[in-house]
Structure 1
Amino acid sequence: MLATLSGYTAADEGKNELPDTLKGMFKNPIAAGADPWVIKSGKYYYTCLSNGNVDSKGISVCRSLKLTEPGSKITVWTAPDTGWNSTQIWAPELHHMNNRWYIYYAAGRKKGAPYIHQRSGVLESVSDDPQGQYIDRGLLQTGVDKNDPSGTIWAIDVNVASIKGKLYAVWSGWEKNMDTDKTSQQLYIAEMSNPWTISSKRVKLSGPDQPWEQGGPLNLNEGPEFLLHKGQVFIIYSTRESWTPEYRLGQLRLKDPARSLLDAANWLKSGPVFQGTQTVHGTGHASFTTSPDGKEWWMIYHTKRSTKPGWERDIMMQKFKWDKDGNPDFGKPEPAGKLLKKPSGEEGG
């Protein structure tokens, strides 16, 4: 919960500079913030982020030739003064479909706790420019609640993917609307008829039902991300509490890609597939991309700066591999400050 990506400014550029003798290397963190979303399009990487912390009012997009440097940000959308999405802009994601860009985000109608008003919506670019103007396509139907002013059920962290000619959305949500944000979060999936319309009933794929997903002040599944590789379909998600050092990643794998994604029994859960160490805390909310030359897979995620509960977090990245069974092998998180080899094909690498 409290899914934000904030704190990065243009002033952060250059803070990761190394001497000329180490130009082929980089070190984490690459920026301050949380819930990183990075997408590669052509020769550029685009980073999508909210402006500010939990009470954010806007969304920005950065562009860079380098995966290790987010680049300067441009605000592409500012929340309205009133309405369901007037404040608390959380964890925006940028996707490219049909020569347009779409930003999926969560927002609320009231500032501050309790965070019981979060719903999910989508913006559509006016042109094929991810840093250009966007129009508001409105709420996504993430569960029907006729007794709620929005008509929908609490939902955050929407991710989408086109799989075998069909568009799907996956997100973190509640079973039903509650008057407390101390409510367990589940993962849901549904089919979409277009980038701004969920056209099927939601199906619950996962809840925090395993021992490694439990034990803290609030059991949750959130931050789901589709990860596609050689015909296999994965959903990598975050579990435990994002404000604690126990935040970690779990995995759902589609057992039979020929069968429906909307069949909950067709998904196999495993985990944790990535978690903190004695020196790296609260690893979660990852996104995935490839190196500039397309030869390597990279994960971008956030960590906590200390073991104390709170929201001071940094953006980290590291390369990962695929094991003999076709599963992603994320390894262990590398500590901040360690020299790592730059992504293959990156300028200066």
Structure 2
Amino acid sequence: MAQETTFTNPIRDGADPWVYQKGKRYYYSMSTGDGIAVSVSERLTDQGTPVKVWNAPETGWNKVTVWAPEIHYFNGHWYIYYAAGMEPGSPFIHQRSGVLKSASEDPFGPYEDMGMLYTGDDLSDPRSAIWAIDLSPVVIQGQLYAIWSGWKENRDTDKTKQHLYIAIMCDPATICGNRVKLSSPEEPWERGGPLDLNEGPQALQHQGKTFIIYSTRESWLKEYRLGQLQLKEATSDPLNPDNWEKSGPVFMGTNEVLGVGHCSFAKSPDGREDWILYHSKKSATPGWDRDIRLQPFTWKVDGSPDFGQAVPAGVPIPLPSGEQ
């Protein structure tokens, strides 16, 4: 039987896709509702079999609503960053960000719960952490930072504007500085619906340039899309908001692919191509019924990413270069 040379979107059901590339393998993480699962694969188009590696505790700040976990590797250990809350259901006003650490180089654990990451304005008072989701680590100029989506202040309603924040990290499990706001939903293409959001920030680095690709507009609507922040100079201080330049939208839905957002990035198995993994809505009806898609992207002359147009379902896409 002839070997397949193409694939079609969507590649699977789900939302908030995350992939981490290390060596010849891809490491995926996903929420199970009451915990977190991890899978390992040598393919971008097939995440492999998820294995549950962590159950949310029965009590505490992180016992329910586990959202959008990301698995990363630092210094011989795997770290999983995630959001969770202490009360189930809407309004989702208790979400905070936490991190798990593996005991060894085994991505399937066991994992130790390292606790809540500090996402507020007064580091001397750990209890003053402020609502935070979609936290992701990034190394810039050799220094580790955390970027995430958060509220200006804790509120009693989840109909609250979301901003993008950054803070310095002392190590992969510790934020050791107060947060700095990098972006608010202020541009016309970030606004227009019932709630203005900046969320799902993901670092993308290329030829010495650092970008933060993030989701904006409402995640439950077909207008969900991607925006971009770019660090103006390679040596600029990432903690200075003036050193970032916003542009967008850099990736939007179409009449056939609705509400694209919450992305992650990887190289093809042979390292020759760049790919974006993202989710989209299954219908125009407001809600969170979504599937996961994958497509290649290129780079513009100025060094910024060119994501092109969302490829419709059923249209053949050549397999990532080097994928068997």
1:126-152 Cα shifts (integer Å, max 9, x gaps)? 110112210000011100479x99431
Q: 1:300 maps to what in 2?
A: 277
The offset of 1:183, in angstroms, is 0.1
Q: 2:7 maps to what in 1?
A: 26
SS in 2 for 1:277: coil
Q: Distance in 2 between matches of 1:89 and 1:150?
A: 20
Q: Which runs of 5+ in 1 are unaligned?
A: 1-19
Q: Distance in 1 between matches of 2:218 and 2:96?
A: 20
Q: Is the 8 A contact 1:145 1:153 kept in 2?
A: no
Q: Distance in 1 between matches of 2:232 and 2:43?
A: 35
Across the aligned residues of Structure 1 and Structure 2, the Cα RMSD in angstroms comes to 1.3
1:113 equivalent to 2:90? Answer yes
1:216 equivalent to 2:193? Answer yes
Q: Is the 8 A contact 1:84 1:150 kept in 2?
A: no
Q: 1:8 maps to what in 2?
A: none
Match of 1:309 among 275, 286, 301: 286
1:202 equivalent to 2:179? Answer yes
Structure 2 length-normalised TM: 0.98
1:76 equivalent to 2:53? Answer yes
Match of 1:225 among 202, 206, 224: 202
1:165 equivalent to 2:146? Answer no
Q: 1:5 maps to what in 2?
A: none
Q: 1:149 to 1:204 in 2, by over 3 A?
A: closer
| TM alignment of 1:13-162, pairs within 5 A | 20-21=1-2, 23-51=4-32, 56-144=33-121, 150-162=127-139
SS in 2 for 1:265: helix
Q: Distance in 2 between matches of 1:212 and 1:93?
A: 27
1:267 equivalent to 2:205? Answer no
Q: 1:13 maps to what in 2?
A: none
Q: Which runs of 5+ in 2 are unaligned?
A: none
The offset of 1:40, in angstroms, is 1.1
Q: Distance in 2 between matches of 1:218 and 1:63?
A: 36
Q: Distance in 2 between matches of 1:267 and 1:231?
A: 15
Q: Could you tell me the percent identity over the aligned residues?
A: 58
Q: Which amino acid aligns with 2:16?
A: D
Q: Is the 8 A contact 1:280 1:334 kept in 2?
A: yes
Q: Distance in 1 between matches of 2:185 and 2:61?
A: 28
Structure 1 length-normalised TM: 0.91
Structure 1 ranges of 4+ moved more than 4 A: none
